Structure formats: C-alpha cells, structure tokens
C-alpha cells in the first residue's frame, strides 16, 4: 500500500468516526433533555407544550413602584384639544421681489424691502391643530399652550371618559410664554389638578407627562427632570427639561411630579434636523414651570392679558474678559449695552456701560435673570436698581412702567389699518437719511388702501403724519393710540408733511 493510499484511508476513517461521534452526542443530549424536563411541563391533548406558570416562583422580586394608581386619578383632569380656523398670509409691503422698490435707490437701501408694491390679497386657508390641556378650576377653566389655540375660530375639548365634545371659549392668551386659558361649560363640576411647587424640582426627580400625541388619545410617559431653569432663546424662558417623551399633540398637557401635582406645562421639544426629520422626541423636552403659570393664569382670568413691567434696557452677559476690563470682582450681572429712548431706565439715569448687579433687592447673577425680574414687577412700582459704574456701586430708583408687547402694537396697527385704510411706520435714522429728512418726527405712510377713508382724505404713500387731532406724533405706537377712538362720521384732523409743504387733511370713517 502506497503512502498516499494509506493517507486517504486514514482520512475516511476519521470522517466516519467524526460522524459517528456527532450522532452519539446528539442522541445523548436528546435523552438528557427528556429526563430533565420540568415536572410542570406536560403534553396537552392537542400535542402542544404548555406551561403551568402558577406554580413557578418569580426569578427576581424588585418591588418597583407603579404609577398606575396616580395616573388613574389624574387622567380625568387631562383633556384633548383640537382647533379649526382660517388664516391669511399678511398683505405686507415687506418681502417683495428685489428691485421693486423706489427708483434710483442703492442696493442696500432700506426702501428696498419696505416700499414694495402691495401683494395681491390671498384667499384664507383652513388650518387645524391638536394639543392637550388640563383643568385648573372645577368651573371649567383649562390651561393649554397659546400655539395650540392661536387664531382658532373653533376650539373643541374632549375628556378621556366622556364622548361629549365641548366647545371652548378663549379667555386669554400670552404669546410671550406660550400660555392660554380656555373655558368649557360642563353640566357639572369638573375634576381639577393640584398645583405643585416647581421651585422644589431637582434633576433626577420623577415626572409624568400625560397628553394626546399624534391623535392617539390619552398617553402616559414617564421620565426624570433633566435640568431646571433652561434658557433656549426667549427673554422669559425658564424651562424644566425632561426626558419624559413629549411629541406633537402633547403641547399644553401637564407635567406631574411623583405625588401627582402639576409642576409644569409641556411646551416644546428639541428635535435636531440632522436626524433627517423634525418634530419627534429625542429625549429632550421642555415644560413651563407651574410657578410661572400661576401668576399668568391669574392675570388671564381677570383681564384676558398679561401686564409686564418695562425697564427699557438692552443687556448682554458679563464675560470674564468684560469683568476684567471693567475692573469687576466677579463675572456676574447684566451689562447694559443700550438704553431705550424715553424709557424708565433713561429717565432714571441708567447709562450704557452700567452693570446691573441687583434689582429690587434680588441679586442678578446672569443677564437672563433680569427680564424675568422686571416682568414680574408691579406696574408703577418704584424699585431700586444697583449698578456698577466706573468701578463703583451706585443705587438708582426707577419707576417701572407697563411693557407694550409688539404683538399688541401689531394688532392695534392692523385695527387702525382696517378702519382708516392706511399703514404707518416709524421714521428710523436710516429712513430719514434715505428720504433726506432733517429729523425723525412723525410717522411715514407706507400704504394706502384703495377706496378707503385715507385715500378719500387725500393721503398718499410717503406722506409724513406729524400730528393727529392737534397732538404731535413721534411713533407708530402714538399714532395707533391717537386714532384708536376714531368715531364714525366725525372728521379727524391730521397735519401732514408732503415734500417741502405742510398741509392739513381731515379723515372721516363712514
């Protein structure tokens, strides 16, 4: 027998032995499995294996707490909110095509984007939104987000265990904090929530969110407080950050603590576009602290709006470099970058370059602290403001006035436009320079509606209104206030500058 033939025979024998060994091992495993089969396993009549789990002990008993009893009590006070309405894109002079402005203007002229030809009126389009809310008072008062009910012509509220739909009435809203108060007329007293203390929250505390995400109805998610006092861009931001899942439809819903008390109103999520989509939870949600909500709801219930204090300063953070350059011991406070003309701050003597360190007895650690402090101040209250000026502390008394929000001015201006048929704008230094005006007194007419009272009075685009009813006008706000009480059929006298001439015109609303 050759060596090669012997090797082949040996390989075949090894293969045969391996196959035999594998066969024997498999049979042994099957036999052991049958012998070791637990006694509580048996064959059913249908030939399938079943398990009598009642005789088995749990592997581990962790005794984890359940939120089920709390949620069962809380859910009746949480509601689903859906809205309907129509909106029209504003017929604005801004945003037109470049080059449609006044002739012979440089490319960077402010008139490039302001004096545009009027856009054709657009047809109103229907919209709908969905969100959540919670009963704050048994008489039917419900808290939600402003963006849920904003511009809605119909607000419908649904409760978890009630198939009846309730039409809700908007009591008041506050766009700055994105809060709103609505009311339903229910046949009986409603179950309301218990308000907690959001100031006592700490990172790591359990929180529960209940809402109506993606129209799924009452949905419960649980997480922890990730952070408090989060600032995400707004002057009144003081958010609670949580990893409890919040998604579209959760807006306006309550954030409870482990005791079943409302500690926040779910409002927003962080959803980076790098994920390929937006509007979905990635574990970072934000809720408005309930301690802020309490004061706002009180004002909305009593007057339908929120009155905030106004100081009139533009501020920025005090960095370590700024602190060193200004000779400050710590990088704290709010650096005054500018002072608004005719504001309480200017009248009291606060100057650009001052560092505000205390406001009404409270320490200003970060510049973001100051707007919240001022907003919460009672109107016409005189407060002490401590500043650092020229490396020395100085105390200044300031009488706080009411802040007129821009959206209120816009609504007021729109109301006057519909009555009088014209739009006006402040004369900024850039506008004055572009029009070769010697001063910025008055307001400039930016648009005149055809066949309106303004057109019939002879007003033209580009006219400068200096006086209304004998009172000098220096801003669009003053113009709106001066014309808000216009009486139908009664002429109103305007002093208008047109070119080098000054003329009187009378405008009368029919």
Catalytic positions are 147, 178, 251
Q: What is the 3-state secondary structure (H, E, C) of 67-80?
A: CHHHHHHHHHHEEE
**Does the CA dihedral 155-159-165-169 come out positive or negative?**
negative
Q: Are strands 194-195 and 261-269 parallel, antiparallel or unpaired?
A: parallel
Rounded alpha-carbon distances, angstroms, from residue 419 to 119, 449, 492: 20, 10, 13
Place of tokens 């009591």: 171
The CA-to-CA distance between both ends of the chain, in Å, stands at 126
By C-alpha distance, which of 351, 362, 360, 421 is closest to 390?
A: 351
Tell me the residue length of the chain: 510
Phi first, then psi, for residue 264 (nearest 5°) are -170, 165
Separation of alpha carbons 307 and 304, rounded Å: 10
Rounded alpha-carbon distances, angstroms, from residue 166 to 74, 136, 243, 249, 486: 20, 16, 32, 18, 38
Rounded alpha-carbon distances, angstroms, from residue 283 to 120, 175, 222, 270: 44, 25, 11, 8
Residues facing 335 on adjacent strands: 316, 355
Question: In terms of C-beta density within 10 A (0-12 exposed, 13-18 middle, 19 or more buried), how is residue 369 classed?
Answer: buried
Q: What is the 3-state secondary structure (H, E, C) of 112-152?
A: HHHCCCCCCCCCCEEEEEEEEEEEEECCCEEEECHHHHCCC
**Residue 34: how many other CB atoms lie within 10 Å:** 8
Phi-psi sector, 448: left (phi>0), alpha (psi -120 to 50), beta: beta
E strand intervals along 192-232: 194-195, 206-211, 219-230
In eight-state DSSP terms, residue 467 is E
DSSP string of 149-211? HTT-SEEEEEETTEEEEEEEEEEEEETTTTEEEEEE--SSPPP--EE--GGG--TT-EEEEEE
């Amino acid at each position: 027998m050759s060596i090669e033939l012997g090797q082949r025979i040996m390989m075949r024998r090894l293969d045969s032995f391996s196959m035999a060994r594998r066969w024997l091992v498999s049979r042994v495993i099957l036999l052991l499995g049958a012998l070791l089969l637990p006694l509580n396993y048996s064959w059913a009549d249908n030939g399938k294996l079943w398990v009598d789990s009642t005789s088995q002990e749990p592997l581990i008993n962790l005794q984890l707490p359940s939120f089920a009893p709390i949620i069962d009590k809380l859910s009746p006070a949480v509601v689903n909110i859906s809205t309907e309405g129509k909106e029209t894109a504003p017929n604005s002079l801004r945003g037109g095509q470049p080059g449609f402005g006044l002739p012979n203007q440089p490319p960077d002229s402010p008139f490039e984007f302001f004096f545009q030809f009027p856009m054709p009126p657009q047809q109103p389009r229907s919209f709908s939104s969905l969100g959540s809310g919670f009963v704050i008072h048994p008489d039917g008062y419900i808290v939600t987000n402003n963006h849920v009910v904003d511009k809605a012509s119909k607000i419908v509220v649904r409760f978890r265990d009630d198939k009846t739909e309730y039409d809700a009435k908007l009591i008041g809203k506050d766009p700055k904090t994105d809060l709103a108060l609505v009311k339903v007329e229910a046949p009986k007293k409603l179950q309301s929530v218990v308000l907690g203390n959001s100031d006592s929250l700490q990172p790591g505390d359990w929180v529960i969110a209940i809402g109506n995400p993606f129209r799924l109805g009452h949905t419960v998610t649980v997480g922890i407080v990730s952070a408090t006092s989060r600032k995400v861009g707004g002057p009144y931001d003081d958010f609670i950050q949580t990893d409890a899942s919040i998604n579209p439809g959760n807006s306006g819903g309550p954030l409870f603590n482990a005791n079943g008390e409302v500690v926040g109103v779910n409002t927003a999520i962080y959803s980076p576009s790098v994920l390929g989509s937006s509007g979905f939870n990635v574990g970072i949600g934000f809720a408005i602290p309930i301690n802020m909500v309490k004061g706002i709801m009180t004002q909305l219930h009593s007057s339908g709006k929120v009155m905030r204090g106004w100081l009139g300063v533009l501020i920025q953070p005090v960095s370590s470099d700024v602190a060193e350059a200004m000779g400050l011991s710590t990088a704290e406070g709010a650096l005054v970058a500018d002072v608004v003309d005719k504001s309480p701050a200017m009248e009291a003597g606060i100057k650009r370059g001052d560092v505000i360190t205390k406001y009404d007895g409270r320490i200003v650690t970060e510049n973001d602290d100051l707007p919240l402090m001022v907003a919460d101040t009672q109107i016409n209250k005189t407060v002490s403001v401590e500043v650092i000026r020229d490396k020395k502390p100085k105390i200044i008394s300031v009488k706080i006035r009411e802040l007129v929000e821009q959206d209120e001015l816009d609504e007021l201006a729109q109301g006057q436009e519909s009555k009088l048929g014209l739009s006006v704008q402040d004369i900024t230094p850039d506008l004055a320079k572009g029009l070769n005006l010697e001063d910025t007194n008055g307001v400039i007419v930016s648009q005149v509606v055809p066949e309106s009272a303004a057109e019939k009075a002879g007003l033209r685009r580009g006219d400068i209104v200096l006086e209304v009813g004998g009172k000098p006008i220096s801003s669009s706000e003053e113009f709106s206030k001066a014309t808000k009480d216009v009486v139908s059929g009664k002429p109103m006298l305007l002093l208008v500058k047109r070119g080098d001439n000054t003329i009187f015109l009378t405008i009368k609303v029919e």
